[in-house]
């Protein structure tokens, strides 16, 4: 067997293995969608689980899209997520550029402090954040969900690594032409940061849209509930008595994430690969 045939066989084996593992990972999501189309699942959940319902019906999804509370929770999540993504990505791009190309005192120390925030989970920060926003009278509003997300150590780190691989000579040439730091950033480096920006949009969107614990702590009014909170409250109220409707709600709740990922997923591997290359 020649080398070309060996490479083809190896590629086929890798594809089959990845396909099998991909299908295994997708099985829970396929089952979730399937149960949503099973009207009988509102009476009793099918056991053993079936990938294709015996009687396919769009009844559950029809109820979901007519649900006023779900629509309101979508609007709430849209407001919080859009604001968080815009502020988080913008701040991370500026901070990453500053740590990569900037020259200022204690830069290394400040960057280490930013990285240290990655080691602090959300749970120890709940009480201090709650006390802080309570003192400003901002509880039971969207502000506690938006403001703490502006500074994100992981995104700043990814931005710095990405800007590190871009030539510093671009900045030096712009400085010779008399450009200031903000002009250099917005006209020279920002147009080149499309891949990392797209990756950060995806990550920030997923984190904000799926956030559950912190909104549960600060939001008391049901009219302000985000999609995860509404889904949790619906599940607690009905349990498995409306399994089909619950699964339909869960399916609809992840649609924005799936759409966002499909549009921007090709940038993830590209940007992470580039951020690991040191450029001069």
Residue 184 has which token pair?
Answer: 């250099």
Q: What is the structure's pLDDT at 97?
A: 92
**What average pLDDT score do residues 127-151 get?**
91
d(CA 65, CA 73): 12
CA neighbor of 141 nearest in space, from 232, 88, 228, 218: 218
For residue 10, the tally of other CB atoms under 10 A from its CB is 10
The yes-or-no verdict on residue 277 having pLDDT over 50 is no
Mean pLDDT, the chain, rounded, equals 83
pTM: predicted TM-score of the whole model, two decimal places: 0.81
More confident residue, 276 or 245: 245
Q: pLDDT tens digits, residue range 42-86? A: 666 666 666 777 777 777 788 777 777 888 888 999 999 999 999
Q: pLDDT tens digits, residue range 223-254? A: 888 988 888 877 666 555 577 778 888 888 88
Q: What is the structure's pLDDT at 95?
A: 92
Cα 132 to Cα 80, 118, 143, 144, 211, distances in angstroms: 19, 21, 12, 9, 20
Q: What is the structure's pLDDT at 49?
A: 66
The yes-or-no verdict on residue 169 having pLDDT over 90 is no
Q: What is the structure's pLDDT at 76?
A: 93
Q: What is the structure's pLDDT at 132?
A: 92
Q: pLDDT tens digits, residue range 100-137? A: 888 888 888 999 999 888 888 888 888 999 999 999 98
Cα Dmax for the chain: 74
**What average pLDDT score do residues 160-164 get?**
89
Share of the chain above pLDDT 70, in %: 88
């Amino acid at each position: 067997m020649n080398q070309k045939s060996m490479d083809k066989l190896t590629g086929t084996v890798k594809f089959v293995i990845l396909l099998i593992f991909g299908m295994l990972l997708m099985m829970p999501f396929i089952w979730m969608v399937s149960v949503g189309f099973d009207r009988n699942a509102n009476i009793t959940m099918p056991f053993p689980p079936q990938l294709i319902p015996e009687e396919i019906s769009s009844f559950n999804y029809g109820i979901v899209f007519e649900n006023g509370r779900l629509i309101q929770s979508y609007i709430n999540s849209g407001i919080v997520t859009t604001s968080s993504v815009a502020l988080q990505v913008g701040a991370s791009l500026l901070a990453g550029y500053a740590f990569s190309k900037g020259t200022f005192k204690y830069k290394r120390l400040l960057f280490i402090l930013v990285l240290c925030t990655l080691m602090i989970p959300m749970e120890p920060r709940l009480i201090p954040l709650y006390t802080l926003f309570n003192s400003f009278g901002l509880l039971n509003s969207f502000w506690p969900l938006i403001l703490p997300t502006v500074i994100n150590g992981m995104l700043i780190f990814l931005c710095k690594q990405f800007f590190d691989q871009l030539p510093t000579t671009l900045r030096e040439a712009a400085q010779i032409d008399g450009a200031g730091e903000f002009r250099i950033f917005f006209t020279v480096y920002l147009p080149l940061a499309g891949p990392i920006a797209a990756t950060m949009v995806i990550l920030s969107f997923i984190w904000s849209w799926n956030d559950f614990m912190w909104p549960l702590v600060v939001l008391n009014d049901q009219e302000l509930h985000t999609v995860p909170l509404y889904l949790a409250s619906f599940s607690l109220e009905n349990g498995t008595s409306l399994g089909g409707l619950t699964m339909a709600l869960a399916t609809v709740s992840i649609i924005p994430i799936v759409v966002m990922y499909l549009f921007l997923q090709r940038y993830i591997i590209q940007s992470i690969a580039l951020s690991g290359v040191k450029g001069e």
